[in-house]
Amino acid sequence: MNTSSTSMPPAAPVPPVNRLPRLPLGVCVAGVVLMLAAAAGAWLATPRLQAMQGAPSLDATVPKAFGDWRAIQDSTPQVDVSQGVETVQEQPYDQTVMRTYVNSHGQQIMLALAWGERQRQDVKVHRPEVCYPAQGFNVRKLGPGPAIPTPARAAPVPTTEILTEARGGGYEAVRYWIRIGEQYGGDGMAARWYILNEGFRGRIPDGMLVRASQRLPQPGAEAQSQALMASFLSELVAAVPASTRAMLVR
């Protein structure tokens, strides 16, 4: 019986190994320098210090009676300073105080204080001209108001005036200031730029909203209301302890 032998096909040739081109030494060094620069920039942009630590309690240190004003129970709710916050991570405030004060003439002013220890690009003090429309008010007037002199600053505190109209009827005059670190006023973009620059300096600024408001029967009463609220806020800043005053104005 004849056995035929099976011949194996010739092996395929092995392709040559493609070697990666070597980069010049100067390119490698430049790449390393760029990576180190990026790491240093990220380190510098990461805030490590807080502007204010061990802040006093606003609720405990803001007096419930000062001058001709005393706090009362008011069943009508104020516009919430935290409106629209859905999670703890989105909450810009560590302390809030909302009270209604009355003087000997029966005039009432609502006070809202909101302080946040860490202001960030995406989480910072809410502006009243945003909170009011979100809670059923139309903004009829918005602009800078006269600055308020206080015992804590050489320069008066710049303020903003708002006249709002409730969708269900009635008006509310508002006077407020927002302090982020040592900056007052400005729009949201100015606040973002300030927070960014503070971050490059290794600081996390705190933020404070001081808001006074008064319900009005008609819009013509706004001028008198704004003057009354300016006086109220000036007296308030003078009445609080120095440590609390450093939270309201700086």
Query: Low-confidence residues of the chain, pLDDT below 70?
Result: 1-23, 25-53, 83-91, 120-124, 186-188, 191, 195
Task: Please write the tens of the pLDDT for every residue from 103-162.
Answer: 999 999 999 999 988 776 554 678 899 899 999 999 999 999 999 998 878 889 999 999
Give the pLDDT score at 49: 47
Give the pLDDT score at 25: 66
Give 66's strand partners: 69
Give the pLDDT score at 55: 86
Give the pLDDT score at 52: 54
pTM of the model: 0.74
By the 8 A CB rule, do 183 and 155 touch?
no
Q: Which two tokens stand for residue 201?
A: 């300096």
Q: Give the chain as a 3 state SS string.
A: CCCCCCCCCCCCCCCCCCCCCCCCHHHHHHHHHHHHHHHHHHHHHCCCEECCCCCCCHHHHCCCEECCEEEECCCCCCCCCCCCCCCHHHCCCCEEEEEEEECCCCCEEEEEEEEECCCCCCCCCCCHHHHHHHCCEEEEEEEEEEEECCCCCCCCEEEEEEEEEECCCCEEEEEEEEEECCEECCCHHHHHHHHHHHHHCCEECCEEEEEEEEEECCHHHHHHHHHHHHHHHHHHHHHCCHHHHHHHCC
The distance of Cα 111 from the centroid of its chain, to the nearest Å, equals 18
Q: Which two tokens stand for residue 59?
A: 């609720």
Give the pLDDT score at 181: 86
